Chain A
Amino acid sequence: MARVAKLPTAGSTRPSQHQTYELEIAIVAMGAVTALYLWRIRSGTLASSDFFGHGLGVIGFLLMLATETLYSLRKRARGRALGRLSNWLQWHIVMGIVGSYMVLLHTAWQFQGLAGVVTLLMAVVVLSGFVGRYIYTAIPRTLDGVEVTLDSLEQRREAVSEELAVLARTSPDTASAIGDAIVILKGARPNVAGGVASIFGRTLIANRDHAALRRAIKVLRRLDAAAAGRAGALLDEQITLQRQLGALATARRLMSLWHTVHVPLGVALFVLSFVHIGAAIYYATLHH
């Protein structure tokens, strides 16, 4: 069961989400590897079995192996000062992408026999990883990457609603503006129900919600700036919490299902990889 945490209580200031840069880092690293690869093959094609080719394969595999084992261990090392889980996930993704890319280059674009099967399986695992990452981000988490509980989300939604009500009571104009904004939001968001579409289509849904929020905020401009800003922020959080609450159950089910598929694929990949490595050592090293 995944680790969960509680959200801050209403009235508190929410710190900004901890930003990670796994894709940026991965792209830069892949660019560097690509440059090195192109420099190496400038005078001919690369052989998987030469020093550079083997180097790509060995380093790439070690990166993949390390990212799998280390991240898995970190997830189970609760409460220890080993850094943010989100940072570990960031490097788990970077090493997984870059490692698999290096292994792909190591193939020298030959996909025969066991090596070809390993490459294919690796591609499947990497793609699966991307899917898993997308599902993973559908589950609300704390700044440290720890899942929040359903109760916490409910409490937070209630707290936001209460604060909106308090804000509406400050003046008739404020109540009127907030009421109009809520009407606009409800009209633009006919449903916020969960389902698989709420996970894989959440970007579209979020865009729809943001468009509705922008229209709602326009009616808040007749308030003073402080009241309008606070009301807009609360409405924004409210519709976000509504999306998360609607998709949370589905996201957790999908995440569990993904683990069920991804882990065996990964295990199979590493088993075949070790066989491939053993065969390479046997045929291409010991006999020389």
Chain B
Amino acid sequence: MRHLGCLTPFGLGAGLVALAGVLLAAFLSGGSMFSPGPLNALASPGITYGGVNSHAALGGDCGACHSSPLDGDGMDTHCLTCHTNIQAQQADPTSLHGIIPASQGCIACHSEHRGAAASLTTSSMADFDHAALGFALTAHQTTAAGQPFTCADCHPGLAKTPHPSGAYGFTASYCQDCHAAYQADFVTGHVADFGTDCIACHDGVDRYTGFDHNTLAFRLEGKHATATCVSCHTQARDPASLKGLDATCLSCHQADDVHKGAFGPDCAGCHSVNTWEGATFDHNQTAFPLTGVHIKVACADCHGNHVYKGTPTACVNCHADPQVHLGQFGTDCAACHTTDTWKGVTFNHNQTAFPLTGAHVTVACASCHVNNVYKGTPTACVSCHADPQVHLGQFGTNCNACHSTSRWTGAVFKHTAFPLNHGSRTPVPCATCHPDSSNYKSYTCYGCHAHTLANVVAEHRGVNSADLNNCLRCH
């Protein structure tokens, strides 16, 4: 008889022996003979689930996790029956297990029979949607040393074996510990600027390493290049809020504006980004162009306390009326002085109530203005020119009535009420009527008219004899 392949007596016998051996081993060892590997034996101190502190403590009780398929409940139900803490997490959407769909099942991330000290978690970071916890791992693929990130890099509790309770916990100090290791200065400043709650701003996606601000409309040059981010982005709490910042100078330099807004919001109109000093303001564009010595004057000499707007332009605002003026020339320095020097005064006397003409023009100021008294100087001629002896006090003090300011000679006397044009066509010598040259107030009409006292008396009967020489009284 030919046997088909292995169906020899020895073959059949060996098969039966093998089967019997399996049954015997199963009877003696329970289900452990089917275990593909040792169960996890790592026990967290003081923590028990389902009455045991590790899976290894279950021994050969396969049914503790592997229930009969006839029961209808899967292994997940058995897992959660013991791991009540995971049940609680599943009800909390902010927790690790709360964001994982229950339909995914424990087996998606966890495994067993991998050794007494092997990790029960098999999923890699790439498989886990860490972003669902509010922090994506997009920027945390490799460490600063170029190594792939492990969970324990940010959750140090996982580096301990066995894992302590809450090993997946996280505090922001872990961020600082890592980042300070290779960018200590930045982290120190960044924490000082924004605080220690990294997660409040960072979601794991943003990453500014290599970011070039100069690719934006607002290039960072000069001092701006060394400014900290928060210097301008004071309210930035997430990547989106870094955008749309007011680009005007005053939006950041409001506190630096010593001009108190006097020059508007455009600092760059006068200042460079390298320093506040060395402003290039063109004063000549203002209503008060700088000329002469004013060009060299320090700004602060006129603009005290950095008040630039509304500075009065009157000379006296800066230049107090000097003592030498004795308050006589008012506050308009420019009326006499230039901005080049105080000397070389160009006073125009003709602008006063007493224009200088004739010989007055060449007269020294002090001739009239004694003791530098310029204001209130009387304009009457007699205040300077005493009535000369030759006038014998007969012509009053108004020199100007007869004299010009060019010279004393050539006076033109305008005769009084008595007309000189009667009875003669040629000028009549003064002595004809005023025989007493020392007294032009006395006169006589007898020099022209052939009158005698007798005739006059005869003609003027009834007239007071005292008036017979005062012809003008009646004529």
Q: Which residues of A contact B (CB under 8 A)?
A: 43-44, 47-50, 68-69, 72-73, 76, 108, 110, 112-115, 259-260, 263-268, 270-272, 275-276, 279-280, 282-284, 286-288
Residues of chain B lying within 8 A (CB to CB) of residue A280: 34, 36
Q: Select A287's contact among B25, B69, B111, beta carbons within 8 Å.
A: B69
> Are B2 and A287 touching (Cβ within 8 A)?
no
> Are A76 and B22 touching (Cβ within 8 A)?
no
B32 within 8 A of A: yes
Chain A CB count within 10 A is highest, among B12, B34, B62, for: B34
> Are B36 and A115 touching (Cβ within 8 A)?
yes
> Are A47 and B14 touching (Cβ within 8 A)?
no
CA gap between A68 and B10 in the complex, in Å: 16
> Are B10 and A286 touching (Cβ within 8 A)?
no
B445 within 8 A of A: no
What's the nearest-Cβ distance from chain A to residue B16, in Å? 8
B67's closest neighbor in chain A, by CB? A287
> Are A113 and B14 touching (Cβ within 8 A)?
no
B13 within 8 A of A: yes
> Are A267 and B14 touching (Cβ within 8 A)?
yes
Evaluate whether A113 and B105 lie within 8 angstroms (CB atoms) in the complex, with A76-B2, A263-B8, A286-B69 already known. Answer: no
B38 within 8 A of A: yes
CA gap between A194 and B383 in the complex, in Å: 171
What's the nearest-Cβ distance from chain B to residue A183, in Å? 49
Q: Select A49's contact among B31, B75, B111, beta carbons within 8 Å.
A: B111
CA gap between A108 and B115 in the complex, in Å: 11
Annotate B1-37 by CB proximity to A: 1 below 8 A, 0 otherwise: 0101110101111110111001001000001111111
What's the nearest-Cβ distance from chain A to residue B1, in Å? 12
CA gap between A284 and B4 in the complex, in Å: 34
Q: Which 9 residue pairs of A and B lie closest in terms of their CB atoms, listed nearest first?
A: A264-B14, A72-B5, A268-B18, A279-B34, A267-B11, A271-B18, A286-B69, A267-B15, A264-B10
CA gap between A73 and B33 in the complex, in Å: 34
B124 within 8 A of A: yes
> Are B33 and A113 touching (Cβ within 8 A)?
yes
Residues of chain B lying within 8 A (CB to CB) of residue A113: 32-36
Q: Can you list 10 residue pairs at the A/B interface with Cβ under 8 Å?
A: A50-B111, A72-B5, A72-B6, A110-B114, A110-B115, A114-B25, A115-B34, A268-B14, A271-B18, A275-B19
Residues of chain A lying within 8 A (CB to CB) of residue B5: 68-69, 72-73, 263
Residues of chain A lying within 8 A (CB to CB) of residue B115: 110
What's the nearest-Cβ distance from chain A to residue B103, in Å? 12
CA gap between A112 and B116 in the complex, in Å: 13
CA gap between A259 and B10 in the complex, in Å: 10
> Are B114 and A47 touching (Cβ within 8 A)?
yes
What's the nearest-Cβ distance from chain A to residue B134, in Å? 26
CA gap between A242 and B124 in the complex, in Å: 66
CA gap between A103 and B11 in the complex, in Å: 22
Residues of chain B lying within 8 A (CB to CB) of residue A266: 6, 11
Evaluate whether A283 and B66 lie within 8 angstroms (CB atoms) in the complex, with A263-B6, A263-B8, A288-B75 already known. Answer: yes
Residues of chain B lying within 8 A (CB to CB) of residue A73: 4-5
B74 within 8 A of A: yes
Residues of chain A lying within 8 A (CB to CB) of residue B270: none
Residues of chain B lying within 8 A (CB to CB) of residue A50: 111, 122
Evaluate whether A275 and B22 lie within 8 angstroms (CB atoms) in the complex, with A43-B124, A49-B111, A76-B2 already known. Answer: yes
B35's closest neighbor in chain A, by CB? A113
Evaluate whether A72 and B111 lie within 8 angstroms (CB atoms) in the complex, with A112-B35, A113-B32 already known. Answer: no
CA gap between A264 and B18 in the complex, in Å: 10
User: Known pairs A110-B114, A112-B38, A113-B33. 13 more at Cβ < 8 A?
Assistant: A73-B4, A113-B36, A114-B34, A263-B8, A263-B10, A264-B8, A264-B11, A271-B14, A271-B18, A282-B69, A283-B66, A287-B67, A287-B74
> Are A267 and B114 touching (Cβ within 8 A)?
no
CA gap between A66 and B114 in the complex, in Å: 30
What's the nearest-Cβ distance from chain A to residue B109, in Å? 12
A283's closest neighbor in chain B, by CB? B66
B107 within 8 A of A: yes
> Are B18 and A267 touching (Cβ within 8 A)?
yes
> Are B17 and A48 touching (Cβ within 8 A)?
no
What's the nearest-Cβ distance from chain B to residue A225, in Å? 52
CA gap between A49 and B75 in the complex, in Å: 15
Residues of chain B lying within 8 A (CB to CB) of residue A275: 19, 22
CA gap between A276 and B105 in the complex, in Å: 25
Residues of chain B lying within 8 A (CB to CB) of residue A264: 8, 10-11, 13-15
What's the nearest-Cβ distance from chain A to residue B7, in Å? 8
B19's closest neighbor in chain A, by CB? A271
> Are B25 and A72 touching (Cβ within 8 A)?
no
> Are B36 and A68 touching (Cβ within 8 A)?
no
Q: Select B34's contact among A43, A49, A270, A283, beta carbons within 8 Å.
A: A283
Residues of chain A lying within 8 A (CB to CB) of residue B31: 283
Residues of chain B lying within 8 A (CB to CB) of residue A270: 6, 15
Residues of chain B lying within 8 A (CB to CB) of residue A115: 34, 36
What's the nearest-Cβ distance from chain A to residue B138, in Å? 19
A264's closest neighbor in chain B, by CB? B14
Q: Select A263's contact among B11, B25, B33, B75, beta carbons within 8 Å.
A: B11
Chain A CB count within 10 A is highest, among B6, B10, B122, B124, for: B6
